Structure 1
Amino acid sequence: MAVSSSSSGSANALACFHASLLAPQTRRTAVASASPRRDSVRMRASTAAPVELKKTVWVWTENRQVMKAAVERGWSTFLFGSKDLGEDWSSTARINPLFIDGPEIFDGENQKVAEISQVSSPRELELVQPDNVEVKNIVIDFRGGWQVIPAENIVAAFQGCRGTVLAVSTNSTEAQVFLEALEQGLDGVVLKVDEMDDIIKLKDYFDRRNEAKSQLPLTKATVSKVEVVGMGDRVCVDLCSMMRPGEGLLVCVGSYARGMFLVHSECLETNYIASRPFRVNAGPVHAYVTVPGGKTSYLSELRSGKEIIVVDQHGLWRTAIVGRVKIESRPLVLVEAKDNSGDDTYSIFLQNAETVALITDDTGSSGRTAIPVTSLTVGDEVLVRKQGGARHTGIEIQEFIVEK
């Protein structure tokens, strides 16, 4: 989702709430796959990219440092209770000042741009309906302790209506609750804070979920070696999200760390074991896995609640939460592959089992998008993500390093 700062003078300002407020987020839909065979797994994932969702952020503060931090992060719409303060700040920064007068919000030309509705009871919540709104923006101030359920009810009620529905948030955690309600979230938030830390945290939240703009470059590598090596401690990563055919985790063994293999999830039905679309049998304990922020983590360091990146064969990614990590001793197989555009060699250890697969491109004549490691042969092509440097505490750095 991308971050935008809403302006009352926007060219596409909407006259009333009667079309689409919250367009359903386009998801990469899973396409039913044929029954998997031992020699290959046939599956397809949609090539459609997700729709870029814009979330509005207005900042309500009397702290000039908070204002500066917000402007530096691209948020320029500010709410003021005093016109003198708004005019003073406008003289030092390029901002869009809005002024609060009771339950209404006006722009600098004294045009009404929004209404504030306080919600502290079910009855007050019922009054906040599209048919009762006459302006293009509504700001909801949830009071009385309940936030999640009322926010979900607002998302449902205003689905298909034009305009902007924002919720007053007193910290970045509350803002996240409103932005994720019923998955779609409200249209935006009014961040009412006097601490810079909340501005920084909210911007970091958007950056980590900026899926619409994020597509990781993947490249083909040709398998050059497949070797059964014996027992090792491997890690199954169970997520709090379902994965679709063609999705998995980017993993490498720590040696040859400049290439991450795309390991498929266990989302497919078989004759011998039920589908586990939340799980990736990712590799041994010392392997790296990609996490948000351009970082990696050892598989052994993953814990419940940690964020991780799920990637599909087109490079589109999304974040997910780790539910649990399961480490068990299992027979391993070593896979090495050479970069098709150079001489680099990458390697990965995986459990030697039919349910463990590497993702490949889906443009070939075979139509395969994943190959079980038990069927992997020299000459097969799989997808990897090339990395440019060594790693220190999960962060890419430029230094002399030899890995074997």
Structure 2
Amino acid sequence: MKLCWLDIRNGGGAREAIIEEAVHQRIDAVVAADPADLEVIPPTVKKVLFPLTDALPDKLEPADLVIVTPARHGEPADLAGRHPDVEFGRFVEITDPASLEEACRAARHEQWSVLAFRDPTKIPLEIVLAAGAGANGSVITQVADVEEAQIVFGVLEHGSDGVMLAPRAIGEATSLKAAATGRSADLVLEELEVTAISRAGMGERVCVDTCSHFRPDEGILVGSYSHGMILCCSETHPLPYMPTRPFRVNAGALHSYTLSDGGRTNYLSELGAGRRVLAVDSKGRARPVTVGRVKIETRPMLAINAVSASGVNINLIVQDDWHVRVLGPGGAVLNVTDLTAGTKLLGCLPREQRHVGYPIDEFCIEE
């Protein structure tokens, strides 16, 4: 779990509401410039003092941690010797090679490093994270909004240990905490048994090309009904007549549902560059991936009917070609044209019906 710090130093009139939301969302720390603003923070939230003035206040309590700029306030190690009951961390603004090197040293040696990057490139952050790899301290990166926080959490795959955000509106603490959660909740996959295979004539099928590299036992969940989907395999595995495309899933007919992050479904026809779908492996581990493009083309289609052990009927219509594949138990890669009645597949059975893609508990029949 990534650390979320809320900076209320310029919180204005909404400060009380922002603090209330932060506590409710279990934000890790609240950052203030005045120790008095930390008095109302409960002990479940770390109290961080980050002065805006050139001098530290005489009274640091109730701060748990004080972030200092050494040129203005002194070295964290020296301050810790004078104030043994308070932790100290270092603030570095990265503007040039010298300050970048200072940030790298902080990441290697300080318990807490708060970093601000002047330029929008994330390369300096990559350098700092690489320099501090394996160190015991935590790197907190200042971000402008939740969208930037999501990027910072993913830099060099490991990301910054946390972010510091100055919220501009109520609700941003909730969004930040959701972004920090990172990975999607794992899914429960079930074995499905094929009951029938039939040709379905011509139709438009959708290839979903993502900005990510699928793993060999990974794909996306697709189905004609929202209550049951089959795990369609990526084109990670070699084919004799064409190169592998490890970013692609030949997913199915354009009317089909696929599962997106947060439990929402989308029609394949709705997907496009910048949308998100859920990559799922044969063990049910899930992660959101970004769609780079979709390819919709007319092809002969194949209908796959299957049933779960509990009797739920599932349908998937895909391109009728042997290089289109689905996944079976244990991550077995199965060409759709080789499927027969009795073949076991992997799938997911969402419990709720859908309204514009959102799960809802209501009466609905899909056939």
Q: TM bucket by the smaller chain?
A: 0.7 to 0.9
- Say if 1:118 and 1:141, in contact at 8 Å, map to a contact too: yes
- The answer to whether the 8 Å contact 2:217/2:281 transfers is yes
The equivalent of 1:210 in structure 2 is 183
Asked if 1:375 corresponds to 2:308, the answer is no
1-structure distance, mates of 2:204, 2:173: 42
2:25 matched to which residue of 1?
73
Pairs aligned (count): 337
- Is 2:45 aligned against 1:95? yes
3-state secondary structure, aligned to 2:246: coil
Q: Distance in 2 between matches of 1:56 and 1:172?
A: 13
Contact 2:352 2:361 in 1 (8 A): yes
CA distance in 2, matches of 1:131, 1:199: 27
Distance 1:379 1:128, change over 3 A: same
What does 1:356-375 correspond to in 2, within 5 Å? 356-362=324-330, 369-375=332-338
Q: Does the 8 A contact of 1:168 with 1:190 survive in 2?
A: yes
Contact residue 253 and residue 268 of structure 2 kept, 8 A: yes
SS at match of 2:188: coil
Q: Match for residue 137 of structure 1?
A: 112
> How far has the Cα of 1:183 moved from its partner?
2.0
Query: Does 2:363 match 1:390?
Result: no
TM-score, with normalisation over the residues of structure 1? 0.78
Greater CA deviation, 115-124 or 236-245?
115-124
Provide the residue aligned with 2:170 in structure 1: 196
Q: Post-superposition shift, 1:115?
A: 1.4
TM-superposed deviation, 1:113: 2.7
- Residues 261 and 128 (structure 1), Cα distance of their counterparts in 2 relative to 1, 3 Å cut: same
Q: 2:88 aligns with which of 113, 132, 137?
A: 113
- CA deviation after TM superposition for structure 1 residue 147, in Å: 4.3
Query: Going by fraction, where is helix more abundant, 1 or 2?
Result: 2
Once residues 148 and 169 of structure 2 are traced to their aligned partners in structure 1, the CA distance between those partners, rounded to angstroms, is 14
Q: Partner residue of 1:57?
A: 4
Indicate the residue corresponding to 2:143 in structure 1: 169
Query: 2:160 is aligned with what amino acid?
Result: L
Aligned to 2:242: 273
Q: Which residue of 2 aligns with 1:52?
A: none
Structure 2 CA distance for aligned equivalents of residues 276 and 103 of structure 1:
58
Q: CA deviation at 1:319?
A: 0.9
- Bigger drift between 261-270 and 111-120 goes to 111-120
Per-residue CA deviations over 1:180-215 (Å, capped at 9, x if unaligned) read 2222211111222342243232223234x334xx22
Instruction: Determine the C-alpha separation between the residues in 1 that align with 2:108 and 2:340.
Output: 63
Structure with the larger RCO, 1 or 2 (CA within 8 Å, 6+ apart)? 1
Gaps of 5+ in 1: 3-54, 363-367
Counterparts of 1:71 and 1:241, CA distance in 2: 35
Match of residue 187 from structure 1 = 161
Cα shift readout 1:278-319 (whole Å, capped 9, x = no counterpart): 111111111000001111000000010001100011000111
Distance 1:153 1:222, change over 3 A: same
1:348 Cα deviation after fit? 0.8
Structure 1 stretch displaced more, 92-101 or 102-111: 102-111
Give the equivalent residue in structure 1 for 2:296: 327
Supply the RMSD in Å over aligned alpha carbons.
Answer: 2.1
Post-superposition offset of 1:83: 1.3
CA distance, structure 1, for counterparts of residue 144 and residue 316 of structure 2: 46
Secondary structure of the corresponding residue to residue 262 of structure 2: coil
State the distance in 2 between where 1:131 and 1:398 align.
51
Match of 2:80 in 1: none
Task: Write the letter of the residue equivalent to 2:49.
Answer: F
| TM-score calculated relative to the size of structure 2 | 0.86
Matched AA of 1:344 = V
Please identify, of 342-351 and 291-300, the stretch whose mean Cα deviation from structure 2 is larger: 342-351
1:236–1:281 CA contact under 8 A, matched in 2: yes
Asked if structure 2 preserves the Cα contact closer than 8 Å seen for 1:103 and 1:116, the reply is: no
Query: SS of the residue aligned with 1:274?
Result: coil
